[in-house]
A and B are shown apart, each in its own frame.
Chain A
Amino acid sequence: MIGMVKKIFGVLASLRTGIWLLFSLIAMLLYGSLIMPVREEFQALHTTPLFEWLYDSPAAVTWWLFGAIVILSLLTANTVLCSIESLLRKRSARNLLLVISPQVIHIGFLFVLLAHLLSSYDSFQGMGQAAKGTTLQLPNGSVAIIDDIRADIDPAGFINDWSADVRYMSGGKELAKDSMRPNSPSFYDGIGLYIKTVRFEPFPVALIQISRDPGAPWALVGGVLFLIGMTTLLVLKIRMEEAVQ
C-alpha cells in the first residue's frame, strides 16, 4: 500500500507528468475552440455560471470541458507537489530568490485557477434596457434606479463617451449614489453595473449589464503574484548571465 502511494506521489510530482498534462490540456482546449463557434449551446455560457451550464448542456458538447477540469485538477496537484519537492531539494541553495520565484509564479497560477473555480460556481450576469427612472432588481435584494443618461457627441456625429447616474436603494432607504461610464462601472456590495451602450431616440435609453464575478479579486491576486515571480526570475537570470560574461 505504501509502495503504491509512493508510486502515485512519484508520478504526480514529476515534471514529465506536468508536461504531458499540459499537452493533454492544450488538446482539449483546441477541440473546444473548434466546436465553440458552431454549437448554439455555447451562447448561454456567456450568461450562465460554468458549472450550471455544464449541468444543463448535453455531454456531446461539454465532454472536453469536463476533461479539461479533470486535467486541471491533476495539474494543480502536480504544480503543488513539484513546488514542494523543488523547495525541499534546493533549500540549501545560495540564491534562495532564484528557488522561490518560480514557486511564486506557480502560486499565482493556482490563485487564477481558484478564481475560475469561484466564478464557475457563483457568477451572475444579467442585461436589460433602462430609461431614466427605471428600477433594476439586483441579486442581493436591493435595487438600482437610473437617474440620468448622458452622451458626449462630437461634431462629426460620433459618440465619444456616455454615462449614467445610479442610485442604490433598499426598503425605501437610499444606500449610495454613483455614476458609470464605459470602463468605469459602478460597484456596490460586490455587484457591478456596466453601461454598455446608449440610444437617444425616441428617448434616452441605456443598455445596462449587472454582473457579479466572485473570482475576479483572486484572479487579480494571482496575476500580480505571477508577474512578481516572473519579473524576479527574469531579472535574476539576466544578472546571472551578466556575471558569467
Chain B
Amino acid sequence: MQALTVISGLLYMAGFYRTGFVYAGLLCQMIYMAYRGMALGRLPIVGPHDTLFFMSASTMVFALAVTARHKERLRLLLPLVGLALFFTALSALYKPHNTPLPPVLKTFWFESHVALSFFSYALFGIAAVFGGLFLSVKDQYVETLQYKAILVGYCFFSTAMIFGGVWAYLAWGTYWLWTPKELWTVILWLFYSLYLHARLRQWWAGRPSAILGIVGFFIVMFTYLGVSLFMKSSHSF
C-alpha cells in the first residue's frame, strides 16, 4: 500500500504536463490515508510520515480549490504542486507510526487540533508560494490571494490553538505548558497576527507584506519540524 505514496508523487510530477494527473495524485493520497486510517482505527496524523503526507494532501486540496476559478490556473497551480510534491518526498524519508496510540491521544480534541494545524500549515505554505509569485510577476491579484490564504489559515490555526488548549487542560490540567513548542506556536500566531495588522498600513502593503507571508512559512516549518528536531520539548510530533 505504501507504493501509493510513490505513485502519488509520480502523478504530481506528471501534473506539470497535464492538470488531470494532479487530481489522480490527490486521489492516490486520499486512498492511502483512508487505508491507513482504517488499518489503524484512527486518523493517520501521528508522526512525521503521516503528518507530512497529510500536509501534502491538504496543500493539494486547498491549491485546487483556490485556483479553481482562475483564468491562468496552471501558472498558480504548478508551484503549489511542487510544494505538495516536496512534502510527499519528505514524508517518504520517515517510517510510518503503526503502534497504538497512548490513551491521552485518543480524543476528538487531539485529532481536531492536529488536523486543523496542518490545514493552516498548508494554507500558509500556499500563501508563501503566492508571495514568491507576487515578487516575481508583480501581479496584485496574486498578493490578494496570498492574503486570503493567510486569513483562512489564521482562522484554522487559531481554532487549532484553542482546541489544543482544551485538550491540554483535560489531559494535563493546564491549557498552557511552558515548552519551546508552545512558545514557537505563539510566535507563529503572533507573526501572522502581525501580518494581518501590518497589511492594513500602506507602508507594509504589497512587497513587504508578501515577504512577511514568505518568512511566516519558514517559522511554520521550524515550529513543526525544527523544534522537534533541534529543541528538547515534551510536546513534539
Contact = CB atoms under 8 A, between A and B. Distances in A.
Contacts, number: 120
Interface string B152-192: 10110011011001110111111111111001101100110
Interface stretch (A87-95, A131-139, A171-179, A216-224): A216-224
Interface string A142-181: 0000000000001000111110000000000000000001
B73 interface: no
Chain A binding surface SS class: helix
A175 B120 CA distance: 45
B109 interface: yes
B34 to A, nearest CB: 23
Nearest to B166: A220
B1 interface: no
Chain B binding surface SS class: helix
B151 interface: yes
A165 to B, nearest CB: 17
Contacts of B154: 230
A219 B165 contact: yes
Q: Name the interface size band of chain A.
A: 35 or more
B137 to A, nearest CB: 22
A219 B198 contact: no
Contact of A22 (B107, B109, B180, B190): B190
Contacts of B198: 19
Q: Name the interface size band of chain B.
A: 35 or more
Contact of A19 (B102, B109, B201): B201
A95 B195 CA distance: 24
Interface in A5-56: 15-16, 18-19, 22-23, 25-26, 29-30, 32-33, 36-37, 42, 45-46
Contact of B183 (A16, A29, A215): A29
Given A19-B197, A36-B180, A123-B174, A213 B169 contact: yes
B177 A26 contact: no
A94 to B, nearest CB: 20
B171 A223 contact: no
Contacts of B178: 36, 42, 45-46
A33 B187 contact: yes
Contacts of B159: 227
Given A15-B200, A22-B193, A158-B100, A37 B180 contact: yes
Contact of B174 (A119, A159, A220, A230): A119
Contacts of B158: 226-227, 230
A101 B102 CA distance: 40
Contacts of B187: 26, 29-30, 33
A3 B169 CA distance: 47
B106 interface: yes
Contacts of A22: 190, 193-194, 197
Nearest to B203: A16
Nearest to B188: A26
A33 B187 CA distance: 10
A242 to B, nearest CB: 12
Interface in A163-222: 181-185, 192, 194, 209-211, 213, 215-216, 219-220
Interface of B: 99-100, 102-104, 106-107, 109, 151-152, 154-155, 158-159, 161-162, 165-167, 169-180, 183-184, 186-187, 190-191, 193-194, 197-198, 200-201, 204, 227, 231-233
20 contacts: A16-B201, A19-B194, A19-B197, A22-B197, A26-B190, A26-B191, A33-B183, A33-B187, A45-B178, A116-B176, A123-B174, A159-B103, A160-B100, A182-B102, A182-B103, A184-B170, A194-B172, A219-B176, A223-B162, A224-B162
